[in-house]
């Protein structure tokens, strides 16, 4: 693999007030998997949008050559005609259409103006077999999971005779099994001569699959690593991404734990979509001031459902149990009640539920606490701007001003806006659901520092995370959840990934200081998803 199929030279791309790319160069060899790493805002996605024609020729400076020929793509169709296909992190499938219809959308199998459905479904079936997806082509996309939808996107790319496949965070929303299957598929495509470019924050995956790795930082090319000649480790990649060594992935902290602030007793939640199904069963948790508590569980264990049901019954039906705050039982029957009692919840899906992406930073930060800015029903615009600007500074939100559109921020900065929004409500209890999902290692460190600071201010914090190293590095205690039941409470000194995984799979602690609950595993988690938990309540 010595011949370059792609060369990008001195690519510079600017937006109003921001230089996203500055003289970036990238070369990709024929038939390799090329990884691209960098912090949020480093320019990874922008570079790929330049390559694929999303940002057309003339909107940037520099040169692109593909297969030795100069390219000046005016739109994404131009790049696809040459065999360059990009799959964005936000999948571009129509859920109401079938798998086959999605695969050939815009590339229909038609004769004399009429779609040949037999040919469409037959060819779709062949493509599905090629990507290892055993689904009927007429199945509606809304009826399959995210992992399978990702494979449909790849099948769609293969239908366009792809030669260079670009995947932007392809495993961000996948579980470990689906991620492993996808990576194996990419290896198979490489063996078939298809070149792949993969952007990912999961450095272990990049190190495992990439033939070479290019690192971007602040819109510039830092270096390209070749595992055959360079020692490629996660620490080496991180050093290139952030410009410094991260000796410790988690900032140091000396916990100062105070009195109990919230106790959840015998909390039971039923599924809103499946009558009679229990998704959380008799859960008991306590949170204390100045303490960071983790909640670990496999997908479907009921972690998010537990958190959202506590936050003003945003999820579930037939909810029973007690919430005791500062020694007194409280009634929390709406999001407004939760906010009034000092409970805040930062959702795992910030783009769908946590933020209004077409609004500016100012409006997003003030959304949950408008009553603190209003007089006689009118919001004080000057005070709203002032508050938002104070959070922009204290949270290090990288934006020209608080009037910047939130949807144009990087993932890490969007997460800081979500945190600012809920910190502004001045909560005593802050529930953080997957607070670092989809953000890079440098931004994660900043989020961890913010969480530590909030704990030092006396907040009680509950962190839900799928990443066990994150919980182990951040939390003072960790609860494990399995099939809707709390199976163990593990102090930090006793916690290891192996022990936590054992409890998460219905195992019971039988050593150390871990405290366990009943050995009845209870019913499985429900699949019903809630609407916006703050809709109409802020």
Does the pLDDT of residue 517 top 60, yes or no? Answer: no
The reported pLDDT for the residue numbered 246 is 52
Query: Residue 508 pLDDT more than 70?
Result: no
Which CATH architecture fits 4-242?
3-Layer(aba) Sandwich (3.40)
CB 29 within 8 A of CB 1: yes
Interval 299-318 mean pLDDT = 91
- Weakest-pLDDT range from 23-32, 45-54, 176-185, 363-372: 176-185
Taking the C-alpha atoms of residue 349 and residue 489, their distance in angstroms, rounded to an integer, is 26
| CB 18 within 8 Å of CB 77 | no
Q: Are 423 and 320 in contact (CB under 8 A)?
A: no
- Cβ(200)–Cβ(35) below 8 Å: yes
Largest Cα–Cα distance of the chain, in whole Å? Answer: 75
Please tell me the predicted confidence (pLDDT) of residue 89. 75
Task: Name the residue with higher pLDDT: 368 or 177.
Answer: 368
Mean pLDDT, residues 244-258 taken together: 78
* Highest-confidence segment of 86-90, 245-249, 477-481, 500-504: 477-481
Encode pLDDT of 430-456 as tens digits: 999 999 887 777 778 889 999 999 999
Beta strand pairing call for 317-325 and 485-491: unpaired
- Residues of the chain above pLDDT 70, percent: 92
Tell me the H-state helices in 116-175. Answer: 117-130, 146-158
CATH 3.40.50.360 fits 250-342+428-435+458-528, yes or no: no
- The H-assigned helical ranges of 317-396 are 335-340, 361-366, 381-394
Residue 29 in this model has a pLDDT that exceeds 70: yes
Percent of the chain exceeding pLDDT 90 equals 58
Under a CB-based contact definition with an 8 Å cutoff, are residues 505 and 298 in contact? yes
Residue 379, pLDDT > 60, answer yes
Does the reported pTM lie above 0.75?
A: no
The predicted pLDDT at position 1 comes to 42
Strands 220-225 and 292-297: unpaired
Whether 250-342+428-435+458-528 and 4-242 are alike in CATH topology: the answer is yes
Task: Please measure the distance between the N-terminal and C-terminal CA atoms of the chain and give it in whole angstroms.
Answer: 56
| Beta-strand relationship, 317-325 and 328-330 | antiparallel
The mean pLDDT of 138-149, rounded to a whole number, is 88
3-state secondary structure of 309: helix
Question: What residues contact 380, with CB distance under 8 A and at least 6 apart?
Answer: 373, 374
Give pLDDT, residue 535.
Answer: 40
* CA–CA separation, 258 and 288 (whole Å): 6
Residues 457 and 288: beta-carbon distance below 8 Å? no
Q: How many residues does the chain have?
A: 538
- Ranges of each domain in the chain: 4-242, 250-342+428-435+458-528, 349-426
Q: How many CB atoms lie within 10 A of CB 327?
A: 9
pLDDT at residue number 524: 36
- pLDDT at position 506 is 67
pLDDT of residue 123: 94
Distances in Å between the Cα of 473 and the Cα atoms of 44, 163, 428, 429 are 28, 42, 22, 20
Strand 114-115 and strand 429-433: the pairing is unpaired
Strand, helix or coil for residue 147: helix
């Amino acid at each position: 693999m010595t011949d370059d199929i792609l060369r990008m030279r001195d690519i510079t791309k600017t937006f109003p007030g921001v230089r996203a790319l500055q003289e970036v160069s990238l070369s990709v060899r024929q038939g390799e998997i090329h990884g691209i790493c960098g912090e949020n805002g480093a320019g990874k996605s922008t570079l790929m949008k330049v390559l694929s024609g999303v940002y057309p020729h003339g909107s940037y400076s520099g040169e692109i050559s593909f297969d030795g020929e100069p390219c000046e793509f005016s739109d994404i169709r131009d790049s696809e005609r040459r065999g360059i296909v990009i799959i964005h992190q936000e999948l571009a499938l129509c859920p109401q259409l079938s798998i086959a219809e999605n695969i050939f959308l815009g590339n229909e199998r038609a004769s004399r103006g009429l779609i040949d459905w037999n040919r469409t479904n037959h060819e779709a079936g062949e493509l599905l077999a090629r990507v290892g997806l055993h689904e009927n082509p007429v199945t509606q996309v809304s009826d399959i999971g995210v992992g399978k939808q990702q494979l449909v996107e790849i099948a769609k790319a293969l239908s366009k005779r792809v030669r260079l496949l670009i995947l932007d965070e392809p495993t961000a929303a996948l579980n470990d099994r689906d991620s492993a299957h996808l990576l194996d598929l990419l290896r198979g495509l490489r063996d078939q001569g298809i070149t792949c470019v993969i952007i990912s924050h999961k450095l272990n995956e990049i190190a495992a699959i990439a033939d070479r790795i290019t690192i971007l930082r602040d819109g510039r090319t830092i270096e390209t690593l070749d595992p055959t000649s360079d020692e490629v480790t996660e620490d080496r990649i991180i050093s290139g991404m952030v410009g410094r060594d991260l000796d410790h992935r988690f900032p140091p902290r000396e916990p100062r734990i105070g009195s109990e602030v919230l106790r959840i007793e015998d909390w039971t939640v039923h599924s809103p979509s499946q009558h009679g199904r229990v998704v959380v069963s008799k859960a008991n948790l306590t949170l204390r001031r100045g303490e960071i508590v983790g909640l670990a569980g496999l997908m479907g264990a009921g972690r998010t459902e537990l958190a959202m049901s506590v936050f003003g019954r945003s999820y579930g039906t037939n909810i029973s149990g007690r919430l005791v705050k500062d020694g007194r039982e409280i009634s929390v029957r709406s999001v407004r009640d939760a906010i009034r009692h000092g409970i805040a919840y930062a959702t795992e899906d910030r783009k769908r539920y946590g933020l209004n992406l077409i609004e500016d930073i100012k409006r997003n930060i003030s959304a949950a606490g408008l009553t603190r800015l209003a007089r006689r029903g009118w919001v004080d615009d000057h005070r709203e701007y002032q508050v938002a600007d104070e959070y922009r500074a204290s949270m290090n939100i990288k934006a020209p001003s608080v009037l910047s559109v939130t949807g144009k921020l990087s993932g890490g900065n969007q997460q800081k806006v979500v945190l600012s929004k809920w910190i502004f409500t001045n909560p005593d209890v802050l529930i953080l659901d997957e607070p670092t999902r989809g953000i890079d290692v440098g931004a994660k460190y900043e989020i961890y520092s913010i969480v530590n600071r909030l704990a030092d201010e006396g907040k009680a914090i509950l962190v839900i995370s799928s990443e066990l190293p994150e919980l182990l590095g951040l939390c003072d205690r960790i609860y494990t959840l399995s099939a809707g039941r709390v199976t163990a409470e593990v102090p930090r000194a006793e916690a290891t990934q192996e022990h936590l995984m054992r409890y998460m799979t219905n195992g019971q602690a039988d050593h150390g200081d871990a405290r366990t609950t009943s050995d009845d595993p209870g019913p499985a988690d429900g699949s019903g998803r809630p609407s916006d938990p703050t809709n109409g309540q802020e």
